[in-house]
Structure 1
Amino acid sequence: MSDRDAGGAQPSISNTVVNSTADHLIQVGVLHGDLNLTLRAPEPEDPQAAAERRLALSLLGQWRAEADAWRMARPAPLPVRWTPSARVPSTGQSLWADTGSSLADTFLGLPHRRLVVLGSGGSGKTVLAVLLTLDLLARKLGIASRQGHGTEPRNPAQPDTPVPLLLSLESWDTRRLSLAAWLEERLRLDHPGLPFVDGEHPAGLLVRRRRVLPVLDGLDELPAPRRAEVLDALAEGLGTDGDAVLVSRTDAYEALSASGHALENATVIESLPLRPRDVARYLDQVARHTGRADAWAPLVRALTDEPSGPLAQALSSPLMVWLVRQTYAAAPADPRELVDGRFPDRRSVETHLLDRIVPAAFPRLPPDDGRLHPPRPWDPQRARVWLAFLARQLSRRGESELAWWRLSQAPLPRLLALPALIAAGIVVSLLIDLVSAGYAADSLLGEMSVRSTVLGGVVYATVARWAAEHYFGHRLAQPRRTANPLLFIAALRAAERHSRVGPLARLAVLNGVPAVAVLLLALYAFGGHDAVLVLLAVGMLLPAVMMVVVAAPADALDAATPTELLRGERSALLATVTLVAPLIGLGTAAFYELSGGDGLWPGFIAWLGASAALFLVSPSSRWLLAKATLATTGRVPWSLMTFLEDARTAGLLQRSGGTYRFRNRRLQDHLAGRSPSAVDEGRPPQPAPAAARAQTSGGRGRPQSADGTDRRSGETVLSTRQEPSIFRGMHVERTADRFLVRGRSRRVPMAHWPVIASLTVMTAVRFSVTGQWREATGWVSLLFFPVLGILLCLLGLAMPSRRWELELTRQAVRGRFGRLHAHYAWTDVTQIAVRRVSLHGLQTPTYSLQVRLRDGAPVPGRRLRLGGGWYHVLALGLTDDVDPQLAAALADFAQERWRPAGTG
Structure 2
Amino acid sequence: MAGQADSGGGAHITNTAVDCTAEYLIQIGVLEGDLNLILRVPPAPSDDDAPLAAAERRLARSLLRRWRAEADAWHMTDPEPLRVRWTPSRQVASAGEFVPAGSGADTIAGTFLRLRPRRRLVVLGTAGSGKTTLSVLLTLELLARRLTQGEDDVPIPLVLSLESWNTRRQSLTEWLVDRLRQDHPGLPTVDGVHPALRLVQERRVLPVLDGLDELPEHRRAEVLDALHTGLGGAGDIVLVSRTTEYTDLDRKGQGLRHATVIESLPLRPDEVAEYLQRARPRSRAADWARLLKTLRTDPSAPVARALTNPLMVWLVRRAYERHPTDPGELTDRQRFPDRGAVEAQLLDRIVPAAFPALPPDPGRLHPPRTWDADRAGAWLSYLALLLNRREESELAWWRLYTAPLPRLLAVPALLATGILLSLVIKAGLSGYTESNPLGGMALSADVTGGVVFAAVARSVTASWFGQRLTEPRRSANPLLFIQALRSLDRNSRVGPLVRSATLVGGPALVVLLLALYTFVTPEPALVWFSIGGVLPVLLMIVYTAPADTVDAATPDELLRGEQSALVTTLTLVAPLIGAGVGAFFWLNDSTLARGTAIAAWAGASAMLVLLSPWSRWMLAKCSLAATGRVPWSLMTFLRDARTAGLLQFSGGTYRFRNRRLQDHLANRLTEERGTAPPGREPVPVPALSDAGHFTVEHAKDHFCLRGRSRRLPLAHWAALGPLMGVYAVRMSVSGQWQDGIAWLGLLVWPFLGAVVTVVGLFLPRRRLELELTRGGVTSVIGRRRRSYEWRHVEEITVRRAVFRGRDARFHALQVRLLAGAPRPPRRSRMGEGWYFVLPLGRSPQVDPQLGAALADFAGSRWTPPSGGR
Instruction: Give the TM-score, by structure 2 length.
Output: 0.83
Contact residue 159 and residue 210 of structure 2 kept, 8 A: no
Structure 1 segment 206-245 matched on structure 2, within 5 A: 213-221=206-214, 227-240=216-229, 242=231, 244-245=237-238
- Aligned partner of residue 401 in structure 1, secondary structure: coil
Matched, 1:816 2:780: yes
Cα distance change, pair 509–420 in 1 and its aligned pair in 2 (3 A):
same
The equivalent residue for 1:465 is 458
Q: Give distance in 1, aligned partners of 2:317 and 2:631.
A: 27
Matched, 1:754 2:754: no
Contact residue 157 and residue 208 of structure 2 kept, 8 A: no
The equivalent residue for 1:613 is 607
Q: Give distance in 2, aligned partners of 1:828 and 1:344.
A: 53
The equivalent residue for 1:102 is 107
Cα distance change, pair 261–902 in 1 and its aligned pair in 2 (3 A):
farther
Q: For each residue in 1:29-73, what CA deviation from the matched residue of structure 2 results, as whole angstroms up to 9, or x when unmatched?
A: xxxxxxxxxxx9983436666555544433332222121112223
Structure 1 segment 146-165 matched on structure 2, within 5 A: 153-159=148-154, 161=155, 163-165=157-159
Which structure shows the bigger proportion of residues in helix conformation? 2
Query: Which residue of 121, 124, 127 maps to 2:133?
Result: 127
The equivalent residue for 2:763 is 799
The equivalent residue for 1:65 is 69
Query: Which residue of 435, 441, 444 maps to 1:451?
Result: 444
- Aligned partner of residue 469 in structure 2, secondary structure: coil
The equivalent residue for 2:750 is 786
Query: Which residue of 630, 648, 652 maps to 1:636?
Result: 630
Cα distance change, pair 637–530 in 1 and its aligned pair in 2 (3 A):
same
- Aligned partner of residue 460 in structure 1, secondary structure: helix
Query: Which residue of 535, 556, 574 maps to 2:528?
Result: 535
CA drift of 1:825 comes to: 2.6
Contact residue 73 and residue 645 of structure 2 kept, 8 A: yes
Cα distance change, pair 612–198 in 1 and its aligned pair in 2 (3 A):
farther
Query: Which residue of 569, 594, 598 maps to 1:600?
Result: 594
Q: Give distance in 2, aligned partners of 1:440 and 1:52.
A: 62
- Aligned partner of residue 343 in structure 2, secondary structure: helix
CA drift of 1:174 comes to: 6.9
CA drift of 1:610 comes to: 0.5
Matched, 1:902 2:866: yes
RCO comparison, higher one (Cα < 8 Å, 6+)? 1
- Aligned partner of residue 153 in structure 2, secondary structure: coil
Query: Which residue of 535, 539, 547 maps to 2:540?
Result: 547
Q: Give distance in 2, aligned partners of 1:265 and 1:876.
A: 42
Query: Which residue of 273, 293, 305 maps to 1:313?
Result: 305
CA drift of 1:125 comes to: 2.6
Q: For each residue in 1:759-795, what CA deviation from the matched residue of structure 2 results, as whole angstroms up to 9, or x when unmatched?
A: 2222222222223322333223323332222222222
* Higher alpha-carbon deviation: 808-817 or 822-831: 822-831
The equivalent residue for 2:650 is 656
The equivalent residue for 1:322 is 314
Unaligned runs of 5+ in 1: 1-20, 27-39, 144-152, 677-687, 692-719
Q: Give distance in 2, aligned partners of 1:449 and 1:130.
A: 63
Structure 1 segment 520-599 matched on structure 2, within 5 A: 520-552=513-545, 559-597=552-590, 598-599=592-593
Cα distance change, pair 781–172 in 1 and its aligned pair in 2 (3 A):
farther
- Aligned partner of residue 645 in structure 2, secondary structure: coil
Contact residue 576 and residue 614 of structure 1 kept, 8 A: yes
Matched, 1:406 2:424: no
Query: Which residue of 283, 286, 289 maps to 2:279?
Result: 286
Q: For each residue in 1:704-753, what CA deviation from the matched residue of structure 2 results, as whole angstroms up to 9, or x when unmatched?
A: xxxxxxxxxxxxxxxx9657999764222333433321222233233322
Contact residue 583 and residue 593 of structure 2 kept, 8 A: yes
Contact residue 92 and residue 267 of structure 1 kept, 8 A: yes
Q: Give distance in 1, aligned partners of 2:466 and 2:180.
A: 16
- Aligned partner of residue 476 in structure 1, secondary structure: helix
Contact residue 231 and residue 261 of structure 1 kept, 8 A: no
Contact residue 235 and residue 264 of structure 1 kept, 8 A: no
The equivalent residue for 1:873 is 837
Query: Which residue of 509, 512, 515 maps to 1:516?
Result: 509
- Aligned partner of residue 355 in structure 1, secondary structure: helix
The equivalent residue for 1:33 is none
Contact residue 200 and residue 497 of structure 1 kept, 8 A: no
Percent of matched pairs sharing the same residue: 55
- Aligned partner of residue 755 in structure 1, secondary structure: helix
Contact residue 746 and residue 799 of structure 1 kept, 8 A: yes
CA drift of 1:207 comes to: 6.0
Contact residue 754 and residue 844 of structure 1 kept, 8 A: no
Q: How many residues align?
A: 810
CA drift of 1:97 comes to: 4.0
Instruction: Give the TM-score, by structure 1 length.
Output: 0.80
Unaligned runs of 5+ in 2: 1-19, 26-43, 671-680
Q: Give distance in 2, aligned partners of 1:900 and 1:51.
A: 48
CA drift of 1:880 comes to: 4.2
Cα distance change, pair 202–872 in 1 and its aligned pair in 2 (3 A):
farther
Cα distance change, pair 721–426 in 1 and its aligned pair in 2 (3 A):
closer
Contact residue 172 and residue 230 of structure 2 kept, 8 A: no
Contact residue 121 and residue 261 of structure 2 kept, 8 A: yes
Contact residue 813 and residue 838 of structure 2 kept, 8 A: yes
Cα distance change, pair 825–203 in 1 and its aligned pair in 2 (3 A):
farther
CA drift of 1:801 comes to: 1.9
- Aligned partner of residue 273 in structure 1, secondary structure: coil
CA drift of 1:440 comes to: 3.0
CA drift of 1:365 comes to: 1.8
Residue type at the aligned position of 1:428? L
* Higher alpha-carbon deviation: 63-72 or 736-745: 736-745
Q: Give distance in 2, aligned partners of 1:829 and 1:283.
A: 54
